[in-house]
Amino acid sequence: MEHTATHEEHSGGGVKEIVKVTIILSVLTIVELALGFWMMGMPLDSGLRLAVKGAIIILMMAKAFYIVAYFMHLKHEIKNLIMTIVVPLALFVWFIIAFLYDGNSFRHLRNTYDPHFKEQSTIKVEKKEEGKHEEKKEEAKPEEKKVEEKKVVE
Amino acid sequence: MSTTTVQPTKLWSGGKSPFNVEYGKLMMWYFLMSDAFTFGAFLISYGTIRFSTNGWPDPNEVFRSFPFAPEGVHAPLVFVSIMTFILIISSVTMVLAVHAGHNMDKKKVVRNLIWTIIGGIAFLSCQAWEWNHLHAEGAWWGHNPFPNHDGTASSTNFTNYFFTITGFHGFHVFSGVIINIIMLIMTLLDKFEKRGHYLMIEKAGLYWHFVDLVWVFVFTCFYLI
């Protein structure tokens, strides 16, 4: 029974805390979904759409915090353990900024210097018809050709 | 376990755990950290490709189907939100199992572990249905039937990343379910009662919460934004 004693030292509020965190996670998820539904009707390149995406990412980080801090119990561990886990993960800040910036810059370069790439992203394709799932699979390739032919005819 | 008492000034002087946790749990944390980098690398790679491409399919057009829904009825975000809630609830039952383990309450541990396993299997079934449905629509590694949001032709990057990352996550869920089943069998065989503690359940719990944590990111990156 020694073990239960050592755990009470760094355990949180028990079932009460679990219920609280469950409610917080559910509410955050519902808000995320509400934002997702709201975003559907927005034009593609609107600033509001970008802002909503940012809000969703902040909510995602909040959810991650609650899961790690309370469900995984990290908040109630001692500082040494928290630091040994969280400090290496700080590398992600650099990873995300560096790689996304690189991807964005590559897109700009290709749009500027690669006419084929630019042209590809302006050709519209026919929208697929509804309720033909089974036949779609086999016809995937011929259909693409058909689309190209239509382009030529047009 | 008297060695684990916290004495900040003498934590590193030897003879006691400077992290105040047992070895196995610390190693589980380090494993999860490395796993976080694996998933992070996948998701950042996905983000980089998405940033370097002019168009991208609209998730609300792709993931809009629902089991037993009549033909032509579209419900974007609904099915995936059910999957998300299944995983959150199974995470909660896992916390409850860990909590019951602290109190040496075998009956509650067993009950909550069973609920967690059911949640995991339910999630996997949902994912299997979704994969099967997308496959029937012609989507697979190397095949992308979905056009971009603006109606232009899309590359296969979208489906490649989707199936690789959700597949890798699904594999984690699957191994989590297996681990939980092993924990359930060990609990039923009174292994932990004999040991005098349920620390194994905590380690399995850490893994299971990590799976839920990854889904938070996968769900946001693929289905919402």
Handedness of CA B90, B91, B94, B99 (dihedral sign): negative
CB atoms within 10 A of CB A17: 17
Contact predicate A126/B146, CB 8 Å: no
Count of domains forming chain A: 2
**Within a domain: residue A153?**
no
Domain end among A20, A51, A78? A78
| CA pair distance B177, A66, nearest whole angstrom | 22
Residue of B nearest to A72 (CA): B206
A71 & A106 share domain: no
**Within a domain: residue A152?**
no
pLDDT tens digits, residue range A63-76? 999 999 999 999 98
Of A14, A44, A84, the CB nearest to B150: A44
**Within a domain: residue A142?**
no
**C-alpha distances in angstroms, B17 versus A6, A81, A94, B5, B47?**
13, 11, 32, 9, 40
Pick the CATH number of B22-224 from 3.20.20.70, 1.20.120.80, 3.30.70.20, 1.10.3210.10: 1.20.120.80
Residue with tokens 């001692």: A78
Task: Please give the helix or strand (H or E) that residue A44 lies within, else none.
Answer: none
Q: Coil, strand or helix: which one is B140?
A: strand
A1 & A73 share domain: yes
A66 & A34 share domain: yes
Question: What pLDDT score does B9 carry?
Answer: 61
| CA pair distance B214, A49, nearest whole angstrom | 24
Say how many Å lie between the first and final Cα of chain B, rounded.
47
Yes or no, beta carbons of A57 and B225 under 8 Å apart: yes
A15 & A62 share domain: yes
Q: What is the DSSP letter of A129?
A: P
CA A91 to chain B, closest CA, distance in angstroms equals 9
**Within a domain: residue A71?**
yes
**Within a domain: residue A131?**
no
A44 & A104 share domain: no
Contact predicate B117/B211, CB 8 Å: no
- Whether A30 has a pLDDT exceeding 80, the answer reads yes
Contact predicate B110/B184, CB 8 Å: yes
> What is the Cα B129 distance to its own chain's centre?
17
A107 & A50 share domain: no
**Within a domain: residue A85?**
no
Q: Which residues of A touch B76 (CB under 8 A)?
A: 40
Q: Coil, strand or helix: which one is B197?
A: coil
| CA pair distance A123, B130, nearest whole angstrom | 30
Candidates A63, A76, A150, partner chain B, best to mutate (most B CBs within 10 A): A63
- pTM here is 0.85
A52 & A15 share domain: yes
Contact predicate B210/A68, CB 8 Å: no
Flag whether the ipTM exceeds 0.95: no
Q: Where do the H-state alpha helices sit in A47-132?
A: 47-66, 79-89, 91-113, 115-120
Range of the domain at A68: 1-78
Yes or no, beta carbons of A137 and B99 under 8 Å apart: no
DSSP bridge pairs for B140: B143
**Within a domain: residue A144?**
no
A98 & A48 share domain: no
Return the number of CB contacts < 8 Å for A and B.
185
A4 & A67 share domain: yes
Contact predicate B87/B119, CB 8 Å: yes
Yes or no, beta carbons of B216 and A127 under 8 Å apart: no
| CA pair distance B27, B98, nearest whole angstrom | 18
Yes or no, beta carbons of A128 and B49 under 8 Å apart: no
Could you read off the pLDDT tens digit of each residue along chain B, which spans 225 residues?
A: 445 555 556 778 887 788 888 899 999 999 999 999 999 999 999 999 999 998 899 998 899 888 887 777 888 889 999 999 999 999 999 999 999 999 999 999 999 999 999 999 999 999 999 999 999 999 999 999 999 988 888 889 999 999 999 999 999 999 999 999 999 999 999 999 999 999 999 999 999 999 999 999 999 999 998
A70 & A103 share domain: no
CA B174 to chain A, closest CA, distance in angstroms equals 19
